[in-house]
């Protein structure tokens, strides 16, 4: 961030689909009359264009001080070379205003590792906003306001005001909550909505999640389920008949710029969410006077505004507008924001789960320079995030947002509340808010892939991977469905904060088998598990030990009557720690950690299997990452660990060791990120009298630098399946066929 203005954005205006000639087009699709709508409420651009003139009464057509129709800009033909070139690699659309797109460039992928063995996510990068100087004519109001807002954000004055914004980081000092529950459809003309929290609402279920009918969901498809993908934003500026209720052109541009800036912040916080905001901007001028004594201050101006826009003059009209907006702009989600100078019961508030938020044009005592943060805060409510400031009457319980996460950063009960947008005037997120927003995409640490037994006929692929923010993501591939799709993620253990590394095994302690997980958070190890019955519930994490680092590894061995858990974890200083869990004793106690391999020095990551070599029950075999080298270790039948020497150099990230199912003595297979780009595969031919490791076999170079990896041999003809993390995304590669050829990387998450 640079002065709270996201860096590396630029404007792109496409001219290849102008439709009618700009000189003749008087009404564009984002400015239509009620009579220009189809039976389903969608815009009919052809009917609007046939009017031939702007005569919208009440919907401000083109004030003299606003360059809506290109009177103050020049029309330039798009250079053919530029059109052919498209956008630079890595840029993506963050904001869309008709044909105007604001493109954001992702942060640099060069990283500083926070822990050896697992690379960190990209650090925030500073930069500049590049403004477009030549703007083509014929832009609609939405398009022009998008351009003017971008230009304003590009100025040094705007950035200077952000650096010196008033009440920076001050807690939201509201005396009451800024959330409500939207009325259900059919509430009629009196759509008065009391401000109250979900937990305190008589219609809430006491869990913090709102049933669809209580949230006023207009259809089986939620309007704002979680903040990922494409989002339509209807920005409705409602003005009145007196100077005190009108907005100047500069004020309108400022509001659009603040909305743009606040939503850009969300996009920069989680690039993997691939957020794109598409806008419809309406300026509605009403003859209705202010009525500060009205019982329902919102309906005074909202209902006539919806009538002017061609919708029912009640909250049903809001639903209809937002639904039509989503359909017209082709987005996953949609909500609307009313901005006005009419008297409000509170300067900013929103319905948890949508469909609307309301904002005073001056943001009350916070001032216009804080509208971006206020708007982002209220948008958080739209997508399921609760208030965290004490005046809201929050508590640390409930089940909020997509993953039913408690409100653990509430001022009233959290032992040490963190800076967070939902608590204070700051562009920061606590460990809980990303989960409230539903950010399942965006990962860190190392992924772990298993092919489950008894979960699906074919055996699903189950993956756990640390969230880029807090907690653990669980995602799975449905191998019984056509195309073997990856299903939406689940998230758990947000209270742990940022998880650094993870290891997982499916055990045989129940049928078909729980997922058993150990995670590292800083120097501590925690154990957690998910049952394999119909509930599929994750149990809370329990601390095992501390003084660890790097990437751990767990297996269920063939030792003991039920098969004990064996766990290795790099020590925080030197060597490796070994723990085991006794499944033949009630309570399944864990042993104390025991150090070995201190002669290796600092170990960065380890991978463990219970092999079939050595006779008897077999030996524990491990591969450890030490700097840029791989070391093979074996525990013999006397429980003594022995170092078998270095077999690879020039690697980074966590190695993964498996014993394959190929005929004979079953080879060892290792995949590890290369120190440069791509991955490296090694194998050890265990059929030899003196088994030796193969030379390195690079693959996956097109991925660039790989941060971490997981490896299995699946039941798909014995294919090797590799899941690689590159920055905040996961890619699957498969080695198949007699030629043992690796597939091209496929992004899966």
d(CA 535, CA 450): 20
**What pLDDT sits at residue 31?**
34
Same domain, residue pair 561 and 522: no
Q: What is the pLDDT of residues 279-318, one digit of tens each?
A: 999 999 999 999 999 999 999 999 999 999 999 999 999 9
What's the average model confidence in pLDDT over 63-83? Answer: 29
Residue 15: pLDDT band with limits 50, 70, 90: low
**What pLDDT sits at residue 689?**
84
Same domain, residue pair 357 and 486: no
Same domain, residue pair 25 and 79: yes
Last residue of a domain, one of 368, 384, 400: 384
Q: What is the pLDDT of residues 365-377, one digit of tens each?
A: 899 999 999 999 9
Residue 191 lies in a domain: yes
Which residues are bridge partners to 279 per DSSP?
A: 233
Residue 333: pLDDT band with limits 50, 70, 90: very high
pLDDT at 114 over 80: no
Same domain, residue pair 736 and 606: yes
Closest listed residue to residue 164, CA positions, set 5, 3, 368: 3
| Average pLDDT, rounded, for the chain | 84
d(CA 5, CA 371): 13
Residue with the bigger pLDDT between 108 and 229: it is: 229
Closest listed residue to residue 11, CA positions, set 154, 158, 155, 161: 154
Which residues, 6 or more positions from 456, have their beta carbon under 8 angstroms from its beta carbon?
Answer: 478, 479, 480
d(CA 698, CA 738): 18
Residue 4: pLDDT band with limits 50, 70, 90: confident
Same domain, residue pair 498 and 510: no
Same domain, residue pair 627 and 719: yes
Residue 593 lies in a domain: yes
Residue 399 lies in a domain: no
Number of structural domains, the chain? Answer: 3
Domain encompassing residue 448: 442-504+516-532
Residue 433 lies in a domain: no
Residue 320 lies in a domain: yes
Q: What is the pLDDT of residues 451-503, one digit of tens each?
A: 999 999 999 999 999 999 999 999 999 999 999 999 999 999 999 999 999 99
pLDDT at 404 over 50: yes
Residue 171 lies in a domain: no
Residue 113 lies in a domain: no
pLDDT at 438 over 90: yes
Same domain, residue pair 591 and 499: no
Residue 738: pLDDT band with limits 50, 70, 90: confident
Q: Is there a contact between 433 and 380 (Cβ–Cβ < 8 Å)?
A: yes
Same domain, residue pair 146 and 219: yes
Same domain, residue pair 619 and 704: yes
Same domain, residue pair 364 and 300: yes
pTM recorded for the entire structure = 0.83
**What pLDDT sits at residue 662?**
85
- Helix then strand then coil, in percent of the chain rounded to 5, is 15, 30, 55
Residue 4 lies in a domain: no
pLDDT at 199 over 60: no
Same domain, residue pair 666 and 598: yes
Least confident of 41-55, 91-105, 224-238: 41-55
Helices (H), 404-556: 433-437
Q: What is the pLDDT of residues 513-568, one digit of tens each?
A: 999 999 999 999 999 999 998 789 999 999 999 999 999 999 999 999 999 999 99
Distance (Å) of CA 419 to CA 226, 284, 374, 424, 740: 22, 37, 15, 7, 51
Which residues are bridge partners to 624 per DSSP?
A: 606, 631
d(CA 224, CA 209): 13
Same domain, residue pair 154 and 212: yes
pLDDT at 654 over 80: yes
Last residue of a domain, one of 340, 367, 384: 384
């Amino acid at each position: 961030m640079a002065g709270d203005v996201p860096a590396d954005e630029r404007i792109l205006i496409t001219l290849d689909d102008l439709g009618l000639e700009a000189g003749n087009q008087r009404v564009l699709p984002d400015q239509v009359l009620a009579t220009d709508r189809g039976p389903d409420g969608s815009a009919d651009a052809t009917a609007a264009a046939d009017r031939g003139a702007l005569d919208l009464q009440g919907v401000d057509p083109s004030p003299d001080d606003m360059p809506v129709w290109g009177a103050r800009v020049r029309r330039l033909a798009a250079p053919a070379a530029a059109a052919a070139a498209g956008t630079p690699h890595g840029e993506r659309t963050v904001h869309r205003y008709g044909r105007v797109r604001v493109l954001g460039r992702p942060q640099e992928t060069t990283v500083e590792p926070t822990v050896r063995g697992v690379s960190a996510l990209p650090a925030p990068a500073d930069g500049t906003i590049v403004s477009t100087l030549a703007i083509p004519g014929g832009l609609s109001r939405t398009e022009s306001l998008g351009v003017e807002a971008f230009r304003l954000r590009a100025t040094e004055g705007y950035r200077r005001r952000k650096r010196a914004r008033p009440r920076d980081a001050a807690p939201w000092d509201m005396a009451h909550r800024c959330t409500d529950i939207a009325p259900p459809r059919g509430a009629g003309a009196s759509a008065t909505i009391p401000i109250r929290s979900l937990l305190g609402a008589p219609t809430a279920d006491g869990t913090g999640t709102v049933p669809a009918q209580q949230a006023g969901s207009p259809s089986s498809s939620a309007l704002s389920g979680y903040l990922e993908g494409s989002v339509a934003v209807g920005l409705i500026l409602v003005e009145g008949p007196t100077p005190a209720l009108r907005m100047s052109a500069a004020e309108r541009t400022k509001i659009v710029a603040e909305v743009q800036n606040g939503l850009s912040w969300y996009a920069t916080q989680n690039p993997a969410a691939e957020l794109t905001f598409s806008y419809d901007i309406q300026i509605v001028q009403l003859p209705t006077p202010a009525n500060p004594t009205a019982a329902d201050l919102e309906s005074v101006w909202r209902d006539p505004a919806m009538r002017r826009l061609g919708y029912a003059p009640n909250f049903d009209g809001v639903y209809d507008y937002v639904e039509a907006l989503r359909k017209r702009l082709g987005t996953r989600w949609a909500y609307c924001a009313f901005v006005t100078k009419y008297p409000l019961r509170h300067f900013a508030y929103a319905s948890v789960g949508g469909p609307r938020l309301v904002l005073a044009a001056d943001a009350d005592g916070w001032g216009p320079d804080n509208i971006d943060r206020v708007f982002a805060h209220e948008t958080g409510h739209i997508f399921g995030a609760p208030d965290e400031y004490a005046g809201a009457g929050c508590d640390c319980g409930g089940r909020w947002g997509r993953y039913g996460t408690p409100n653990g950063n509430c001022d009233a009960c959290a032992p040490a509340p963190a800076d967070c947008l939902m608590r204070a005037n700051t562009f920061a997120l606590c460990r809980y808010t990303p989960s409230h927003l539903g950010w399942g995409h965006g990962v860190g640490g190392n992924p772990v892939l298993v092919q489950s037994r008894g979960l699906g006929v074919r055996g699903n692929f189950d993956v756990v991977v640390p969230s880029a923010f807090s907690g653990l993501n669980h995602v799975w591939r449905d191998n019984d469905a056509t195309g073997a799709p990856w299903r939406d993620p689940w998230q758990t253990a947000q209270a742990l904060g940022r998880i650094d590394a993870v290891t997982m095994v499916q055990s045989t302690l129940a049928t078909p088998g729980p997922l058993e997980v150990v995670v590292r958070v800083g120097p501590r190890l925690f154990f957690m598990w998910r049952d394999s019955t119909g509930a599929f519930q994750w149990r809370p994490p329990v601390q095992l030990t501390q003084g660890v680092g790097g990437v751990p590894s767990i297996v269920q061995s063939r030792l003991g009557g039920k098969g004990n858990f064996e766990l290795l974890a790099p020590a925080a200083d030197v060597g490796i720690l070994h723990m085991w869990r006794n499944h033949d004793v009630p309570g399944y106690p864990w042993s104390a950690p025991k150090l070995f391999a201190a002669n290796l020095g600092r170990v960065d990551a380890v991978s463990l299997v219970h092999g079939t070599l050595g006779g008897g029950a077999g030996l524990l075999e491990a591969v450890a990452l030490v700097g840029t080298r791989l070391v093979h270790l074996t525990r013999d039948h006397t429980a003594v660990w022995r170092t078998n020497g270095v077999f690879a150099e020039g690697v980074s990230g966590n190695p993964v060791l498996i014993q394959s199912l190929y005929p004979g003595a079953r080879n060892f297979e290792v995949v590890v990120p290369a120190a440069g780009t791509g991955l490296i595969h090694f194998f050890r031919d265990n059929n030899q009298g003196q088994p030796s490791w193969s030379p390195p076999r690079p693959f996956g170079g097109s991925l660039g630098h790989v941060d971490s990896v997981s490896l299995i041999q699946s039941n798909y003809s014995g294919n090797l399946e590799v899941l690689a993390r590159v920055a905040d995304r996961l890619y699957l590669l498969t080695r198949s066929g007699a030629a043992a050829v690796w597939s091209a990387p496929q992004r899966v998450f």
